[in-house]
Amino acid sequence: MNLKPLQELIESTSLEALRPFTEDEFLDSIRHGDFPKWRRLLSELPAIQPSSVEFASKVRIGTAADASKEILKQLHEQLIEFIPWRKGPFELFGIDVNTEWQSNLKWDRLINDISPLESRRVLDVGSGNGYYGFRMLEEGAQMVLGIDPHIAYVAQFWLLKHFTTKSPIFVLPLTLEQLPQTLNYFDTVFSMGVIYHRRSPIDHILELKSCLRPGGELVIESICVDGIAGYCLTPEKKYARMGNVWFVPSIATLVQWLSRCGMVDIEIIDESITTLEEQRKTEWMPYDSLEDALDKDDSQLTIEGLPAPKRVVIKATRP
């Protein structure tokens, strides 16, 4: 968890306000019950120098020839300690981490329709273990900052970063609300799979907007349902087994929200239905997944009897 490279990168920029979140005192203040466990496991990782790094469809770090069988066995056991692995896929020194999400499929659906990421400063909100951030580096991003309040997924990123120390990608255990109000810094901001978890989706969009420089691009991805502008599904308790879903908008409603928040050049770039190929239970995520969230007799419905999730990707510009 060496954050000195990030400190050097943000010095004399508007991101310098994040410096307190890069200090040991902040990390020591985290009270998540499993955090001491993650820190211990991270400190025990082997020092393997990867012979190659590839941030392609499957993020590959090193090969099996880079370490002894004994060390690789130890690493495999350590990776299991970090289950569940949700975003991916990854391959570490020949160890195939078959994640719940085949996140490369979502990435492929959007990458050719957004502004090129070459030399851009990128913020990834709800980044999880950083899979998309590595893909952003593949596209030539100058730097990627991810934020995610779920410490278990941030710990997974720190594990990956342990073997890719020189890559200009960082993930901090923060919420969007903890960022300074007017960064006006990033060229591209991603919010994928986050807005329907927010109690105030309008505030979420305004906070994303404030992170962008004028002319910067927002890429927002969400679960959606069919409906006219103004329609939004509000689950009574749970939606597809998830208890933290507050609003599931129609596509027209999400476009309307973006417009009301002052975003321009709003464009729908992908609509899709998540399949059991893209999201499923694996040995690296052995808990309930999409199959368990859908009605056994009608895959068009969730187990709560609500419309099954569809997904949309929209891009928009801060004027």
Which CATH number does the domain housing residue 201 bear? 3.40.50.150
The rounded distance, in Å, linking the Cα atoms of 117 and 268 is 18
Q: Please list the rounded mean pLDDT of every run of 10 residues in the chain (319 residues).
A: 89 91 90 86 96 97 98 97 98 98 98 98 98 98 97 96 96 94 94 97 98 98 97 96 96 98 98 96 97 96 96 98
**Between 103-110 and 131-138, two packed helices, what is the crossing angle to 10 degrees?**
40
Specify the pLDDT at position 256: 98
CA distances in angstroms from 167 to 66, 88, 170, listed in the order given = 19, 18, 9
Specify the pLDDT at position 117: 98
Specify the pLDDT at position 181: 82
- Domains of the chain: total: 1
Specify the pLDDT at position 260: 98
Specify the pLDDT at position 192: 98
Domain that holds residue 41: 4-317
Specify the pLDDT at position 182: 87
- The model's pTM is 0.96
Specify the pLDDT at position 285: 98
